[in-house]
Chain A
Amino acid sequence: NAGVTQTPKFRVLKTGQSMTLLCAQDMNHEYMYWYRQDPGMGLRLIHYSVGEGTTAKGEVPDGYNVSRLKKQNFLLGLESAAPSQTSVYFCASSWRGAPTDTQYFGPGTRLTVL
């Protein structure tokens, strides 16, 4: 079991460029999440999905879009990157969304927007 994997690990973008971050999980989890981690801010939820074909906004959704076309994949898109989106992005998944279901995190993607 690879668990939760993220692609790419690092990326540098110029302002206005677009990109897609890919998250994949092989645990047959229903729920998937995208967080961003910034110094002194902790982890903040961007978008989440409660099952294939569904998405919902989290705490900081502006400037991001997501898609969950397959149960095992959750894509995070930046249509027009801004320097404020420089961050480390983490994907997570859980079997169900009930609080007691552990969220398993991927290794992260470090994104720099110049």
Chain B
Amino acid sequence: QQQVKQSPQSLIVQKGGISIINCAYENTAFDYFPWYQQFPGKGPALLIAIRPDVSEKKEGRFTISFNKSAKQFSLHIMDSQPGDSATYFCAADTSGTYKYIFGTGTRLKVLA
């Protein structure tokens, strides 16, 4: 029940295309869903996050869509660029636990 399942494992997108990464969870107590971006040789960095009281959050080309009833959330990268090539992790947390549960990661490659 603590898992966060992430798909796909890897993704190749043409420059200008839309990248979509999906995550699903079981624990209905999760109330915070961040996405982290990791470039090779670097630590993960927060990209965007959402709470379950909203269905969508947009920051520039990055959008989180949240479906509470389906217990799913996804990251959409519009107009994907080669500089977006990185590994993306979804995560979930419950207030007061201080412990993120991370998905297994998606390696995105955007072709020029």
Contact B43 A42 (CB under 8 A): no
With an 8 A cutoff between CB atoms, is A45 at the interface? yes
B4 — nearest CB in chain A belongs to which residue? A42
Cβ of B68 to closest chain A Cβ, rounded Å? 16
Pairs across A and B, CB under 8 Å, 5 listed: A42-B89, A44-B102, A99-B94, A99-B95, A102-B34
Segment of B12-20, B44-52, B54-62, B69-77 engaged in the interface with chain A? B44-52
State whether B43 touches A90 (Cβ < 8 A).
Answer: yes
Q: B42, B49, B89: which contacts A100 (Cβ < 8 A)?
A: B49
Cβ-closest chain B residue relative to A40: B104
The 3 nearest A-B residue pairs measured at CB = A105-B43, A97-B98, A99-B32
How distant is A14 from chain B, measured CB to nearest CB, in Å? 25
Decide: B103 and A42 in contact? CB cutoff 8 A. Answer: yes
B52, chain A: closest CB distance, angstroms? 11
In the bound assembly, the distance between CA atoms of A102 and B9 in angstroms comes to 25
Interface assignment of A2: CB less than 8 Å from any CB of chain B: no
What residues of chain B have their CB less than 8 Å away from a CB belonging to chain A? 6, 9, 31-32, 34, 36, 41-46, 49, 51, 89, 93-100, 102-105
Does A43 count as interface, using CB distance less than 8 angstroms?
yes
Report A79-112 residues with CB < 8 Å from chain B CB.
Answer: 90, 92, 97-100, 102-108
Q: A42-B102, A42-B103, A45-B99 are in contact. Are A105 and B93 (CB under 8 A)?
A: no
How many positions in chain A have a CB within 8 Å of any CB in the partner chain? 25
In the complex, the answer to whether A102 meets B102 with C-beta atoms within 8 Å is no
Most buried by A among B43, B44, B45, B102: B43
Rounded to whole angstroms, the CA-CA distance of A13 and B34 in the bound complex is 34
| Chain A nearest Cβ from B80, distance in angstroms | 22
Sample of 11 further A-B pairs with CB below 8 A, known A31-B98, A59-B99, A108-B43: A4-B43, A40-B104, A42-B103, A42-B104, A43-B102, A44-B102, A50-B98, A97-B96, A99-B97, A103-B100, A108-B41
In this assembly, does A77 line the interface, its C-beta being within 8 Å of a C-beta of chain B?
Answer: no
